Amino acid sequence: IDFRLAQFVTSAPDITHLPEDIGMEIAFAGRSNAGKSSALNTLTDHRGLAHISKRPGRTQLINVFRLTDDKRLIDLPGYGFAKVPLEMKLAWQEKLAQYLEERRCLKGLVVLMDIRHPLKDLDFNMIRWGVAAQMPVLVLLTKADKLKQAEKQKTLRTVKARLAEELDGEIVVQLFSSLKGTGREPALNVLNGWFRR
Ligand code: GDP
């Protein structure tokens, strides 16, 4: 699949408003500010794509992008946002877990984490849910350009080791930088692999 075909389709207020559960989807999740929009723009080679959704008030929406008639990318709302009331956070977490569990067309989960703040509890939960839902997970350590080579490699090893130790699932961890384009091709290879299953 050529990810440059991506086009914005709709913003859904919750998972019940997503398109019909047919075809194939890959979902993107991460803390707010993890670099998710930038990564989506980089992967699709489409500068303004995901930032369309960043207008105030729309950040809590699920954004749907189509690649082909039956393949979509799903941009889940950023989590860990301090200003959201606890009840809303819990309600959303429950819906998210349900979505990962029940969405039949969902073929894989991408979790983005700022390489300088990896594996916060909510990140770990997301990855755990993906694994529990028997889905392959791609973890992208974003903004890799912010660290020196040795630090990058060390964080990569630490994250891989902790996930391997605590979770038994199909998890790939990669460095990523939207600024430099680092990790774009390997990430696209993984995602295309999922779409071919
Ligand atoms: P989102 O909230 O997860 O969608 O995050 P954004 O994509 O909006 O990025 C949050 C901030 O991190 C912005 O100021 C971006 O310019 C910055 N950022 C995102 N990706 C990178 C990257 O690869 N390198 C660097 N240095 N900054 C990045």
ipTM of model: 0.99
Gap from CA of 177 to ligand 1 centroid (Å): 9
Angle at 131 between CA 38 and CA 51, to 5 degrees: 15
Strands (E), the chain: 7-12, 24-30, 62-68, 71-75, 106-114, 137-142, 171-175
Could you name the CATH architecture of 3-195?
3-Layer(aba) Sandwich (3.40)
Q: Residue 4 above 70 pLDDT? A: yes
Q: Residue 57 above 90 pLDDT? A: no
pLDDT tens track for 145-159? 999 999 999 999 999
pLDDT band at 139 (very low <50, low <70, confident <90, very high): very high
Gap from CA of 34 to ligand 1 centroid (Å): 6
- Ligand 1 pocket test, pick from 33, 37, 38, 147 with the greatest ligand atom count within 8 Å of Cβ, gives 38
Nearest-angstrom CA–CA distance, 159 and 164: 9
Cα of first residue to Cα of last residue in the chain, in angstroms, is: 13
Confidence at residue 114, expressed as pLDDT on a 0 to 100 scale: 98
In this structure, which residue's CA is closest to atom 26 in ligand 1?
143
* Least reliable range by pLDDT among 26-40, 88-102, 110-124, 175-189: 88-102
- Ligand 1 pocket test, pick from 178, 180, 184 with the greatest ligand atom count within 8 Å of Cβ, gives 178
Q: Is 34 near ligand 1, meaning CB less than 6 Å away? A: yes
Hey, what amino acid is at 5?
L
* Average pLDDT for 99-119: 96
Helix (H) or strand (E) holding 98: helix 86-102
Hey, what amino acid is at 164?
A
Q: Is 178 near ligand 1, meaning CB less than 6 Å away? A: yes
Cα 31 from chain centre: 10
Phi, psi of 137 (to 5 degrees): -125, 130
Q: Residue 98 above 90 pLDDT? A: no
C-beta of residue 14 within 8 angstroms of C-beta of residue 73: no
Q: Which two tokens stand for residue 193?
A: 């692999």
Q: Residue 53 above 80 pLDDT? A: no
* Average pLDDT for 126-143: 96
- Distances in Å between the Cα of 130 and the Cα atoms of 51, 68, 111, 148 are 25, 24, 9, 30
Angle at 114 between CA 49 and CA 84, to 5 degrees: 75
- Mean of all residue pLDDT scores within the chain: 92
- Which residue shows structure tokens 């969902």? 106
Domain boundaries, the chain: 3-195
